[in-house]
Structure 1
Amino acid sequence: MSLSRILNSIGGVGFGLIVAGSVANSALYNVDGGHRAVIFDRFRGVQEHVVGEGTHFLIPWVQRPIIFDIRAKPRNIPVATGSKDLQTVSITLRILFRPKQDKLPSIYTNLGIDYDERVLPSITTEVLKAVVAQFDAAEMITQREVVSNKVREALITRAETFSILLDDISLTHLTFGAEFTQAVEAKQVAQQEAERARYLVEKEEQVKNASIIRAEGESEAALMVAKAIGEAGEGLVELRKIEAAEEIAANLAVSRNVVYLPPGQQALLALPQ
């Protein structure tokens, strides 16, 4: 056998190995953790069985894997709607969702790989509008937990018709229109003014009561003094004079430039200096 034939034989074997390796590689696919696969067959369509995690075989060119993420994923959906008393309400709903594993072939056939984009915004808006319309703006604040529970129950039921599981639903943002906000602020200001006026009225009432009590006390004291004078006669008057004289003498004793002379010697003041 010539060298050229040997090289041609080796080249043919190498090419065959490359082709075989390429075919074998295209016949394998991986499904990562937290994912599932649905097989699309060009002749039979979407297969009903769901492929789990690991490395699997398929028929090249004939079959193609569609990989779904089955882990719970969050999504925030803002909705603007009207309350029972026609107030504008802006709500943001946070949803934690995932698809039903055994329904993945049906989800892919009817909705596609972007099933959440097609379903969640529309059903969330529908449910929120229906629930919020049952409450007025004030009840939306005071009964927020009740509103949240009603939204959760209705939305879970609605999502199940599309084979979507909702693990968590919560109202993360709730605001009202400018007119309602201004009305609430005005009401708070009015309540504060009413409390202040009530405090002032109570204060004036207390001052009035104190004045009455003081006047009654002074009147009673005057009556008692008059009664005492009437009973003691001139003796009480003399006592008051003595007490006044003692007070004046005490004040003069501590004053400067005051000279005291014995009785009968006041004439010494008239002597020439």
Structure 2
Amino acid sequence: MKTKIFLLIGTLLLFTNCAVIRPGEAGVKQTLGKFSNKVSTQGTIFYNPFISKVIKESTQTNNIKLILSLPSKEGLSVNSEISILYRLELDKIPSVLENLGQDYESIITSVFRSASSDVCAKFFAKDMHSGMRAKIEEEIKTKMKGNLEKQADGIDLIAVLMKSIQLPRGLANSIERKLQAEQDAMRMEFVIQQAKLEADRKIIDAEGARDAQKILSEGLTEEIIKIRSIEAFNELSRSTNSKVIITDGKTPFLIETKD
């Protein structure tokens, strides 16, 4: 009976002093409060449950989502949904745990709040809703990275994304009116340009017709008219239709008759 009890206790100890590390995870052994420099991935870690434990952390890309009111240069508040994408560097996980603890996401959030306030205060509210947003995101990311490295090295910031930006109602209406006015101006400019092109086309057509008439009139000399008249008489002589020709010998005037 005692043997069975010892076997049962030994089996329980065997299963309680090992940890399974799954794909996308990393395990760090902590013994008497001190973290091991060895980081284990995808496998089993054996440890003494009385003096040690295994801390598991994700090595995948993580996303911290926030909804904040960001200040602008003119003193307005801009509401925005924020995504902070980060990843723990595998070989530096012990440093992160030692300096920031397992609640390191709260540290990342605090650093973001400070960095975003400093950066956004240098830009106008409309910049956060325009092509300047990418620049604002990059500056926040750079400032966050510098502040985090002062506390712990091992958090790889991938991106800071500002989404669903909501400008103050008055400013949003002003921007819409401005954009509408710009579109109307561009449309009117296009209409004017088309009208100018049409006017130029008519002028070119008129000049072409005038030049053609001028060339034609200059080319119709008396000799040319006589030659054309002779050619016309020759054609008439070969015609089978009956015609009455009234002429002064220079130009014919024809009256066609039917048989």
Assess same fold via TM > 0.5: yes
| Cα distance in structure 1, aligned partners of 2:35 and 2:183 | 67
User: How much is the aligned-residue C-alpha RMSD, in angstroms?
Assistant: 4.2
SS of 2:6's equivalent in the other structure is helix
The aligned length equals 216
| Cα distance in structure 1, aligned partners of 2:3 and 2:80 | 70
Shift of residue 25, structure 1, vs aligned partner: 2.2
| Cα distance in structure 1, aligned partners of 2:120 and 2:161 | 12
SS of 2:59's equivalent in the other structure is coil
Shift of residue 204, structure 1, vs aligned partner: 5.6
Q: Give the counterpart letter for 1:186 in structure 2.
A: R
Note if contact 2:137-2:161 (Cα within 8 Å) is conserved in structure 1. Answer: yes
Structure (1/2) with the larger helix percentage: 1
Corresponding position of 1:270? none
What does 1:1-273 correspond to in 2, within 5 Å? 11-22=1-12, 24-25=13-14, 28-33=17-22, 34-39=25-30, 41=32, 46-50=33-37, 52-53=39-40, 54-58=44-48, 60=50, 63-78=51-66, 79-85=68-74, 86=76, 88-98=78-88, 100-103=92-95, 106-107=98-99, 111=101, 113-116=102-105, 118-140=106-128, 141-163=130-152, 164-171=154-161, 173=163, 175-177=165-167, 178-202=169-193, 210=202
Note if contact 2:47-2:53 (Cα within 8 Å) is conserved in structure 1. Answer: no
| Cα distance in structure 1, aligned partners of 2:2 and 2:16 | 22
Q: Give the counterpart letter for 2:7 in structure 1.
A: L
Structure (1/2) with the larger strand percentage: 2
| Cα distance in structure 1, aligned partners of 2:20 and 2:178 | 60
User: What is the TM-score normalised by the length of structure 2?
Assistant: 0.61
Shift of residue 47, structure 1, vs aligned partner: 1.9
Structure 2 segments unaligned to the other structure (5+ residues): 218-247
Q: Give the counterpart letter for 1:142 in structure 2.
A: G
Q: Percent identity?
A: 12
